Amino acid sequence: MTTMSEGAFDAVAELFERVSGIRLAPAKKALVEGRLQRLAQDAGQTSLDRYVEHLLHEAGEAELTKVVDKLTTNETYFFREPQHFEFLTQQLRTQPPRGAFRVWSAASSSGEEAYSIAMLLADVLGSRPWEVVGTDLSTAMVEAGQRALYPMERARHTPHDYLKRFCLRGEGRYQGQLLIQRSLRERVHFRGANLMQDLPADLGQFDVIFLRNVLIYFDAPAKAAITRRVLRQLQPHGHLLTGHAESLANLDLPIRALQPAVYVPA
């Protein structure tokens, strides 16, 4: 299949930005071509440019959802940026929650972050009430989180004790994969949400919000808008955690830094 013309790439980038709020840089052209090849073939299109025309003028919402799913899929792994999990462990041990403890993985991708949080909460809080909510723009990623089946490679940073207690090793056709234990899956809930739009009215309030490795895709006004929207779901005593490569400086937000990439309401 031929490569995509600059005009077709610009059209896809504009369409994707309108839906997701994320602007695809020209350097992402090869990535976009690679991820749309199969979709174009499945749609019976003979070239990527013809597929883009199909997207713009003929395709329905289902096809657009497939494109968004393809372009927002990022590989992740369990216990990424371990400083945050160390911080959360310390907080829970020194200030045990009085009621149900709720954590939101706001850009949960395929669920590794949400289940990492769940393992930690199960370890520290045990049978006390807690819940993890994972949200993502991609319906495919939401479904992946619900399946809770992952390549073993993504667990390379997971404590060995957690692997034994909370994961099942795949056998036969599931060789090389792991499944999260049902006891954890029952306390982790995944749903769709677009951080650039109004959040679900029944999302509720959280003690901790993980907003990591998503703000890097947005300009300063969009970063501020997303963060303000997310902060409405944070308890007054809560903590907001961002990626260590992301900065909220100079965005005029009602928060203060407690330590690198950890914020509390101002």
Residue 35 among the catalytic residues = yes
Q: What is the DSSP string of the chain?
A: -PPPPHHHHHHHHHHHHHHHSPPPPGGGHHHHHHHHHHHHHHTT-SSHHHHHHHHHHT--HHHHHHHHHHHT-----TT-SHHHHHHHHHHHHHS--SS-EEEEETT-TTSHHHHHHHHHHHHHHTTS-EEEEEEES-HHHHHHHHHTEEEGGGGTTS-HHHHHHHEEE--GGGTTEEEE-HHHHTTEEEEE--TTSPPPTT---EEEEEE-SSGGGS-HHHHHHHHHHHHTTEEEEEEEEE-TT---TTS--SEEEEETTEEEE-
Answer yes or no: 165 catalytic: no
Kindly name the residue from 35, 128, 147, 165 that is annotated as catalytic.
35
Indicate which residue of 136, 154, 207, 212 is catalytic.
136
Catalytic residues, by residue number, are 35, 136
